[in-house]
Structure 1
Amino acid sequence: MEPFITMIPYLLVECTGFEEQRGQHTMEPYTYEKLFFGVPQCIPGNCGVFTLKYIECHVFWMSF
């Protein structure tokens, strides 16, 4: 998980097309916590969708 939470901020800063949006993101690594309750863990293949939705909410400063 460490490479992922370190890499995503760099991608957001480098891939943002507009200069004013570039200043909204920092290069500091994200934090994460693993949830054991309330999230279904028994269905394989659905974690990527949750990850992408979380990243999308984080980019637009929305609560998840």
Structure 2
Amino acid sequence: MEPFLQMVPYLLVECAATGNLVKYGLEPYTYERPLKGVPTTNNGDCGVNAVKYIECHALGVSFDPKDFARCSEENEG
């Protein structure tokens, strides 16, 4: 994961339009891997949750796994 965290800021700077260069620094990204409360029933379920986490993070929306677990339970009932 470390190489990816180092590489992405450089990719953003390289691909950013000239007016957007100030938005992106070259500091490495950090990541957090929540292990408790993440609703997965199969090993392959983590990809969907990862995409949803990225989407919430990009939109500035809180990602609380308990909310997603509740939605899943409501859909099953």
Q: Do both share a fold (TM > 0.5)?
A: yes
Distance in 2, Cα, partners of 1:3 & 1:52: 23
Unmatched runs of 5 consecutive residues or more in structure 2: 62-77
1:63 alignment partner AA: G
The TM-score with structure 2 as length reference comes to 0.57
Question: Between the two proteins, what is the percent identity of the paired residues?
Answer: 36
From the two aligned structures, give the one with the greater helix fraction.
2
Q: Which residue in 2 is equivalent to 1:19?
A: 18
The TM-score with structure 1 as length reference comes to 0.66
Distance in 2, Cα, partners of 1:11 & 1:48: 24
Quick check: 1:63 aligned with 2:73?
no
Whose radius of gyration is greater, 1 or 2?
2
Distance in 1, Cα, partners of 2:20 & 2:54: 19
RMSD: 2.8
Which whole-Å deviations, capped at 9, do the CAs of 1:14-63 have from their partners, x for residues lacking one? 011x2121110001101111101232343416527725862781xxxx32
Q: Which residue in 2 is equivalent to 1:36?
A: 35
- Segments of 4+ moved more than 6 angstroms: none
Q: How does 1:40-55 map to 2 (within 5 A)?
A: 40-41=39-40, 42-44=42-44, 46-47=46-47, 50-51=50-51, 54=54
**Bigger Cα displacement from structure 2, 3-12 vs 43-52:** 43-52
